[in-house]
Every structure is written in structure tokens, then in C-alpha cells.
Structure 1
Amino acid sequence: MQYRELLDQLRTHVASLFQTHEDERFIYHNLHHTEQVVENVVRIANHYQLSDQDFFIVVAASWFHDMGYFFDCTQHESQGASLANDFLSANGVSSEVIEQVKGCIMATKMPQNPEGLLQQIVCDADLFHLGSDRFKERNRLMRKEAEAFIKHKIDKADWRIKTIALFKAHHYHTEFCQQLLNAKKAENLAELESKLIKEQNVDTTGVSKFDNSKDNESKEGKKKKNDRPERGIETMFRITSTNHQRLSDMADNKAHIMISTNSIILSVILSVLLRKLEDNPHLIIPTLLLLIICVVTMVFSILATRPSIPTGVFTTDDIKEKRVNLLFFGNFYRMSLPEYENGMIKVMEDRDFLYGSLIKDVYAQGVVLGRKYRLLRIAYNVFMFGIVAAVLAFIIASALVTM
């Protein structure tokens, strides 16, 4: 089967369909979007070095995946699969390949649940922009398209809420896209949530300028206290905790890299170099230096990831004085369920206690992060400068022997 030639015909066929069914309302789901998805598919497929047949399947699916919008927006995946079936059958493609192409198209239906690498590639290519610099532009075009179809403006805050929900429900399926796009996707999500917080923090209540009585002043003081933007505060805590968790995961990954790298170096030293030191005594000092560097780096990396757990017990006085943070497991894991339940009920009933616990939780996360990154910095510095010193020691030792 000449898959490359067929893909050229397929591209021409799809472009012709877009021209034939041109609709100005499709500001997002147009030929440009389809071409971008195809470009993304090719990029991911090249990474996984797919066979010619598998490459054809994912590229063909990406060309047809949104064609159904011209016929039925609510069932565009099945319409696109039907169009693909008609074209591929007319060009002599086997039924097995056609079924795989249709499966890839149907896998893009939200919520995505792809089966196998080929479907995962098409799904990730379809929402590739969520983790790219093009997200703002593509998201704006999608909102304009939705407004064109419903024929009225969509509130930006409402659109952001729905977009944030999409971000949180979505995840990239291929390891390639996870490594390439997850960081930028998290930045895009954080920016969306930040903008939403700012909008929710806008004070639209207003206070009368002509009421100067003491009663009104006391009411105004209460109003300022009680009218704090609840959703904005909750979103702020959620974003902060998420960012801290992401930074903690990054620190753990960095520590694991250091531990794995130095474990490999240590195994080489112990299994190879130590046996040859009797025949090469000039390498004793450089080898010991490298050994010490690896051990010290591993120690600091392990210390950065080693958990520290409190006593896990709180008292009734801690609850009364609001000294304990019941949102962290280390403060209650040795308490009985009724005691913890009573404590949490008091936390939920007291607004200041609740927000105080959230503040303590965020602060505690920050303290732990500070310790992790401080120890990691030491580990990386020891490894960076130490490996340079060890290499220089090996070079000097070898040079002295040859002299």
C-alpha cells in the first residue's frame, strides 16, 4: 500500500471539503486548526518512530477528526469517522486499517479515553495547544466560535471557569507530551486561575458616602470583614497548594536523578575501578575523591526526600486555642476517628480557624520546600564542583605517570 501517496490525496480531499462547506462561524474548527493537529501528530509519531501503516492511521485520523462539525456539531466524531470510512474504502484501504482510523477519531470525544498508543497520539495532538504558547490565541478563537453559534456574548469569567474545568479534567496520555507540555500547561492553568481570582476580588458592593453615623461605621467594618471574596480566597489557597505540590514533585524528581546517577557511578567504581587500583596505584586518590563526592551527593539527596513526621497527636486545648492544623495528616494520624471528627467539625464551624489552618498548611509546605531545595542545592553543588575536581584529578594522575 502506497501510504505516502494516499496521504497526499487525503490532504487534497480534506482541503476541498473545507472549501465546499465553508462557514464563517467556524473560527476555531477550520482548516488551519486541522493542519496544526496534523503537524502535532507528525511530531509525536516521529518521536515514537511508527511504522508506515501506523503513521498513516494517526495522520489520516487527524485530517478527519473534526470534519464532522460541518454536518453535526454534537456528534462530529462519528460523522468524521463516517467520512473517513467513505474515503478510505473508495481508495482500497483494508477494513482493519479503516477501523483503527475510526477508533482514533472516536477517541477524541470528550472525556478522552484512548486505548493504545495510536489513539493516545491523536488525542494528545488534538489538545496539544493546552500546553503550548498558542493557548491564549486558540482559547480566544474557541470562545468567539461558541459566541458565533449561540449568537450572544459569553462572560469571560464563565468561560474561564469552564476552561479551568477542562484543564483539570484533561491529562496528556503519551509520555512524550507529558514531558514536553505538562509544565507549560500548568503555567497556562495558573494564569487562568490568577485572572479568575482578580475578577472575583473586584468589589462591586459600594458604601454610601453620606452616612457618617457610628452605627454605619460599625456596619461598614463588619461588611469589610464578611465580604471577603470567598471563592477568590479558596482559589488562591488551591493554586498555592497546587504550586507547592508541583514544586515538591520537581524537587523529588531532581533528588531521584541525583541518587540514580550517583548510584550508577558508585557501582562502576566498586565493580571496576577498585579492582584495578593495585595495578594503577596513581588512581587511588582520584578514585577515593570520586567515591566521596558520590556518597556526599547521595546523602544530601536522600536527606532532601526523607520524610519528617510529627507526633500525630493533638489535645482539646490545641483545638480551643486554634494551635493545631488538622489539614495535615502528621498532626492527627495517631488520634481516634471520633476525636479527629470532632476537631474537624469545630474547624469547619469557625471561619477564622479554617482559614488559619489553611494558612498554616501553606506555610508548612513552604518550610518543607525550602528545606528540600536547600539540601538539593548543596547536593548539586557538591556533584557539579566535585565531578570537575575528580576529572581533573584523574587527568593529573594520568599525566604524572606518563612523565
Structure 2
Amino acid sequence: MLKLPECQLILNKLRNELSAKLFYHSIYHTLDVYHSAESIAIEEGVSDSDMKLLLVGAIYHDAGYLKQNNNHEEISCIIAREYLPLYHYSKKDIDIICGIIMATKIPQTPKTHLEEIISDADLNYLGRTDFFEIGEYLYNEMLAFGYINNRDEWNKIQLNFMLQHHYFTATAIKKNQSLKEKNLKEVQLRIK
């Protein structure tokens, strides 16, 4: 799937044009979401045609960061609507891809199964063993952009976010929920 020219185009832009301050929302995050979405979709029995739309959506979901941080999902859809017709995607398919992209907007409100999968893939790391390592990238990004001022503020934001978050798919609940709860307890212990 990554060999598709429409995916390579955006991956090259993400690799070369993203702000150096995007420590978390980097090409590595995009690829992580892509692989997580693919893994969840396989477990969830997604068809080949839906898989393609899901994975293109995963590649494009944070493309808006090429232009701006706020409301980047809307910009990602504009980019998808600009480029995907060049690769013979129908308006219907692009609408589905944009739904997938918009499902990653916080707070997540997925309306379809594919949107639930991308929502879980985008925040998959909350219930993984590399949670704190990945979280450090987000901490540094938020610090660099002035969204937070210190570690204690970060831990409180992270705790509130994790308390409000829930997984949507049976696969993510089964694979990530218990470790997410363990990570949540560790975050609680870090708050002064």
C-alpha cells in the first residue's frame, strides 16, 4: 500500500516539509498510525476495498500539519481533495477518506467502522508499552509550540485526556485497554 504514488507523494512532503518542532506529529507518527490501522482492520475483517480507503486516509490524516497546527484535519481533507482526483479517486471515495481523516479530530466522534478503526489507530499508543517514549515526543512538541509550560502541566493534561479517551473497536479494547489503564495509573503517580 505504501508504494501507491498517492501515498508516496504525501509521505515525501511529510518527510521533507514538516516543521522541525513537530516531534510527535512527524512522518513516524503517520507510519505508526498506518500500521496500527492496518493491523486493527485485519483483525476486524475489513474488505480489501475499504482497507485501501482506510490506509490512504491514515497516510493523509495529518497532512494538514504541512500548513498549520490548528484545525489541521480540515486542511488534510483539502489536501486529499486536491491530490486524490489525480489518482482517479471518485468523489464518494474521497468523501469516505475525509470522514476517516476527520474522525481523528479530538474529541473523536467516529460515525463508521473505518472511522472507529482510524480513531483507535491514531491513539493506539495510549495502550502500548512504548506509551511514555511516544508521549515524550508529544510533550516536547507541546513545549516547543508553547501549549504547555512544564512537566507537571503536561502530566495533568495527559491524565485528563486519558480519562476521557476510550477505544471503539473490539480489537483495540482487547489489545490495548488493560495496558492503557496501567499507563494511566503511572501518569496519576507522576502528578505532584
Same fold (TM over 0.5): yes
Length-normalised TM-score, structure 2: 0.95
Amino acid at match of 1:174: T
How far apart, in 2, do the equivalents of 1:24 and 1:97 lie?
32
In structure 2, what is the equivalent of residue 185 of structure 1?
180
Q: 2:17 aligned with 1:9, yes or no?
A: no
Q: Give the 5 Å matches for 1:33-44.
A: 33-44=29-40
Q: CA RMSD in A?
A: 1.5
How far apart, in 1, do the equivalents of 2:106 and 2:188 lie?
22
How far apart, in 2, do the equivalents of 1:84 and 1:195 lie?
40
In structure 1, what is the equivalent of residue 98 of structure 2?
102
Q: 2:20 aligned with 1:24, yes or no?
A: yes
Q: Give the 5 Å matches for 1:145-164.
A: 145-150=141-146, 154-164=149-159
In structure 2, the CA distance between the partners of 1:51 and 1:164, relative to structure 1 (3 Å rule), is: same
Q: Secondary structure at the match of 2:70?
A: helix
1:15 shift after superposition: 1.9
Q: Give the 5 Å matches for 1:355-374.
A: none
Once the two structures are overlaid, the 10-residue window that deviates more, 46-55 or 157-166, is 46-55
How far apart, in 2, do the equivalents of 1:75 and 1:12 lie?
23
Q: Residues 28 and 142 of structure 1 are in contact (CA less than 8 Å); yes or no, is this contact kept in structure 2?
A: yes
Q: Residues 34 and 62 of structure 1 are in contact (CA less than 8 Å); yes or no, is this contact kept in structure 2?
A: yes
- Which has the higher Rg, Structure 1 or Structure 2? 1
Q: 2:90 aligned with 1:125, yes or no?
A: no
1:30 shift after superposition: 0.6
Number of aligned pairs? 192
Q: 2:131 aligned with 1:135, yes or no?
A: yes
How far apart, in 2, do the equivalents of 1:118 and 1:20 lie?
29
How far apart, in 2, do the equivalents of 1:188 and 1:158 lie?
17
The higher relative CO (CA closer than 8 Å, separation ≥ 6) is in 2
1:48 shift after superposition: 1.8
Q: Secondary structure at the match of 1:73?
A: coil
Length-normalised TM-score, structure 1: 0.46
How far apart, in 1, do the equivalents of 2:6 and 2:124 lie?
22
In structure 2, what is the equivalent of residue 50 of structure 1?
46
In structure 2, the CA distance between the partners of 1:137 and 1:32, relative to structure 1 (3 Å rule), is: same
1:7 shift after superposition: 5.6
In structure 2, what is the equivalent of residue 218 of structure 1?
none
Q: Give the 5 Å matches for 1:282-361.
A: none
Q: Residues 100 and 115 of structure 2 are in contact (CA less than 8 Å); yes or no, is this contact kept in structure 1?
A: yes
How far apart, in 2, do the equivalents of 1:19 and 1:112 lie?
26
Higher relative helix content: 1
2:55 to 59, 62, 66: 59
Amino acid at match of 1:191: E
Detail structure 1 runs of 4+ shifted over 3 Å in the superposition. none
Instruction: Provide, for residues 29-64 of structure 1, a one-character-per-residue CA deviation record: whole Å limited to 9, x for no partner.
Output: 111111011010110111122212100111011101
How far apart, in 1, do the equivalents of 2:179 and 2:148 lie?
29
Q: Residues 11 and 59 of structure 2 are in contact (CA less than 8 Å); yes or no, is this contact kept in structure 1?
A: no
